[in-house]
Amino acid sequence: MYRKEIEKYIEEHKNEMIEDIFTLCRIDSQKMAYEEGMPYGRGPARALTEALSIAEGYGFSIRNYENYVGAVDFSEKEKQLDILAHLDVVPAGEGWKVTEPFEPVLKDGKLYGRGTADDKGPAVAALYGMRAVKELGIPLSKNVRLILGTDEECGSSDLVHYYGIEKEAPMSFSPDAAFPVTNVEKGGLAGHFTGEFEPSNKLPRLVSLEAGIKVNVVPGKAYASVEGLERNVLDETADQVEKETGVHFELETTETVTKITAVGTGSHAAHPENGNNALTGLLTYLLKLPLAPCTQVEILKKLSELIPHGDVHGAGLGIAMEDEISGKLTLAFSLLKVTEDQLDGTFDSRCPVCSNEDNVLNVVKEKMASIGLTLHNESMKKPHHVDGNSHFVQTLLKVYEDYTGRKGECQSMGGGTYVHNLKNGVAFGASMPETDNNMHGADEFAVLEELVVSAKIFAQVIVELCS
């Protein structure tokens, strides 16, 4: 019902939609220093003010929640559907070639610029879905609200503020991922652990080790310094371990100290199997060297047994598990710093729906304690699951199939979306499954036709769920 009218309306207003997207994408809305009345700084507040002004210009009722979140309402009727999008962006970064980050352009059917895909383009597509329903005069018996946040990239504290004031709608989706529907998001444990030990001056010895840049990144490089080892021993061991692990070792010797760089392959921690962990490769190498016995080395040996090279499912820690809904637990050893007298490390685990604190958190605590380390986490991120057979999800899938001719099916992911903590929230759009938008990278783009069809889909979903 109303499909022809919706498609015609969106096509006729496509150029206006592009201009509204560009208006928002010209604003640098990365998180900035706090200013009075602007919790995330001037950029996000400006983007929110501009977006609400655009929506108000189309006749919608708006509300600004102290520059944390903005809301655009179709009507004052009973809540039914919330659409959550965000206007903050990651930093511009380097390497842009098609255009400057905040000078959006349309080229070869793609909108280039920071935020075009994540998430200003989809936010405007959702707004145009609402606008189509409104201006076509399609009657709704319940309300749809577009929620525009400003802190998704840095922890979603904006939603904590918003849902401290408002209740969730019965149904929520966020166009901040890809079609079809992501209804399962794994839980997580970013396990932070430390240990202390008496320093030892016995040679040969490990002077220091440092690896990792972020908890959610598999290290592509790792570094260590050792003292008192012959170069031929270091070289022979490097050749042996490279054959075993695929990690390459670069050595630089000055007098009695050798600096070691382990070179693997980085990847996102949600998919550690796509990388080759330089950190665990470096530990494998160091522990094959004839280092003098000491507590530091003993703890590292035991730690390497708990998280050995190539173990991306937590078998060594005793937490390997999987279920049909969300797949296998994944684990990446992502950060480690070792000095003469202490150790500080973090791993990133993405945990399936069957996980909980008893079978993950408490197990890891006991394992770490057994080797003299302390796991500091007191809780873990719970998995998120919305019934794929519900009327809500099935309606999203059916509309997606109708407008794209593709098969609609539910999917799970290791990361978390903007709706992870909402009881009945899923990710829905706004790019096609095969599209890589360079999200968070240089030359971020959104495919114009994907945003256009997204606007059509969102309009139809509003009609189906709110009529």
Q: Which residues are catalytic?
A: 88, 152
Could you tell me if 335 and 193 are in contact, meaning their C-beta atoms sit under 8 angstroms apart?
Answer: no
User: Residue 85 is inside which H or E element, if any?
Assistant: strand 79-86
Q: How many CA atoms lie within 13 A of 455 on its CB side?
A: 32
The DSSP bridge partners found for residue 361 are: none
Residues contacting 429, CB < 8 A, separation 6+: 122, 125, 175, 177, 178, 179, 454, 457, 458
Using DSSP, state whether 130 is helix, strand or coil.
helix
Q: How far is CA 363 from the centre of its chain?
A: 26
Three state DSSP letters for 260-289: EEEECECEECCCHHHCECHHHHHHHHHCCC
- CA pair distance 313, 329, nearest whole angstrom: 5
Residues contacting 392, CB < 8 A, separation 6+: 171, 386, 424, 426, 465
- CA pair distance 238, 240, nearest whole angstrom: 5
Q: How many CB atoms lie within 10 A of CB 239?
A: 11
- CA pair distance 58, 129, nearest whole angstrom: 12
Residues contacting 160, CB < 8 A, separation 6+: none
- CA pair distance 187, 184, nearest whole angstrom: 10
Question: Which residue has tokens 């009945």?
Answer: 424
Q: Which two tokens stand for residue 78?
A: 């009973």
Could you tell me if 466 and 416 are in contact, meaning their C-beta atoms sit under 8 angstroms apart?
Answer: no
Length of the chain equals 467
Q: How many CB atoms lie within 10 A of CB 348?
A: 25
Using DSSP, state whether 204 is helix, strand or coil.
coil
Omega prior to 433 cis, within 30 of 0:
no
- CA pair distance 439, 114, nearest whole angstrom: 8
DSSP E strands: which ranges in 117-186? 143-149, 171-174, 177-178, 181-185
